């Protein structure tokens, strides 16, 4: 069984690689920043992952997960996201609290318990933030949705995913009415100013492009 540290590393490599979507190796600097450790610590761990055939590592380039590493990363993400959804739906914890709790529990729950949670929740496809939940075989369906910032003015939308689980950011979205499933309209979108104005539940909201890029939406058709 992989250690907690190994699981954290493969999961983080997978998430960074997915986010950047360039196909290039994940750098030691990016890993050090995400895991809040020194680059030297990352280098040592990447050598360990390489020896375990979970990643390939080249100095000054970074690391890529092997097929075994990807399978492990998806297994950890499956645990994490199902635990998040269980905490949110069954224990009614707010979406800005479940990520931190799941970070601890993902290493403690058994695969049998995770499977029971999945059945209990009705085989869900996404977690409380709209991220896809891998199935037991490692497959998943990528949710639809594009960054809010890519839509023009007068577009109606529905929030389907948030790609930043920072608790303060999620609380801000909740206070602004931009929860998962919320719908609204883009009143103004000014890329040159890095800002947009939204109409959410009858309220006007000014939102920066940096925040808007983390909110994925789908078009909401009007009658």
Task: Let me know: does 182 contact 215? Beta carbons within 8 Å.
Answer: no
> Which residues face 161 on adjacent strands?
216
How confident is the model at residue 51, as a pLDDT?
A: 94
Structural tokens at position 208: 């920066």
Is it true that 4-65 and 76-135 share their CATH fold? yes
Picking from 179, 186, 221, 192, the residue whose alpha carbon sits closest to that of residue 207 is 186
Mean pLDDT of 34-61: 92
Distance CA 171, CA 186 (A): 21
What proportion of the chain, given as a percentage, has pLDDT over 70?
Answer: 98
Let me know if domain 146-219 sits in CATH 3.40.50.10490.
no
Residue 211 Cα distances to 63, 113, 161, 164, angstroms: 29, 36, 13, 9
Which fold is adopted by the domain 4-65?
Arc Repressor Mutant, subunit A (1.10.10)
Which residues lie closer than 8 Å to 136 by C-beta, 6 or more apart? 78, 115, 118
221 has pLDDT over 80: no
Q: DSSP class of residue 151?
A: S
- Quote the pLDDT of residue 202: 86
3-state secondary structure of 160: strand
Q: What integer pLDDT is reported at residue 1 of this predicted model?
A: 55
* Sequence ranges of the domains in the chain: 4-65, 76-135, 146-219
Note the pLDDT tens digit of each residue in 131-187: 999 999 999 998 889 999 999 999 999 999 999 989 999 999 999 999 999 999 999
Nearest-angstrom CA–CA distance, 13 and 40 = 16
Report pTM. Answer: 0.90
CATH of 76-135, one of 1.10.10.10, 3.40.710.10, 3.40.640.10, 3.40.50.880: 1.10.10.10
Q: Is the pLDDT of residue 127 over 80?
A: yes
């Amino acid at each position: 069984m992989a250690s907690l540290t190994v699981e954290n590393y493969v999961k983080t490599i997978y998430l960074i690689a997915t986010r950047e979507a360039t196909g290039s190796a994940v750098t030691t600097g990016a890993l050090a920043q995400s895991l809040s450790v020194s680059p030297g610590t990352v280098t040592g761990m990447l050598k360990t992952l390489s020896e375990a055939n979970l990643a390939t590592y080249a100095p000054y380039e970074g690391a890529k997960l092997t097929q075994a590493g990807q399978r492990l990363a998806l297994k950890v993400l499956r645990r994490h996201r199902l635990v998040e959804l269980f905490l949110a739906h069954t224990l009614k914890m707010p979406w800005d609290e479940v990520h931190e709790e799941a970070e601890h529990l993902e290493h403690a729950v058994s695969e049998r318990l995770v499977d029971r949670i999945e059945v209990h929740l009705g085989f869900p496809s996404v977690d409380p933030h709209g991220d896809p939940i891998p199935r037991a075989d490692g497959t998943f369906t990528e949710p639809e949705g594009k960054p809010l910032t890519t839509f023009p003015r007068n577009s109606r939308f529905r929030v389907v995913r948030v790609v930043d689980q920072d608790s303060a950011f999620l609380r801000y979205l909740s206070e602004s009415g931009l929860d998962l499933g919320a719908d609204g309209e883009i009143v103004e979108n000014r890329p040159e100013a890095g800002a947009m104005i939204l109409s959410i539940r009858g309220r006007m909201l000014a939102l920066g492009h940096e925040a808007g890029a983390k909110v994925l939406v789908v078009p909401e058709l009007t009658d």
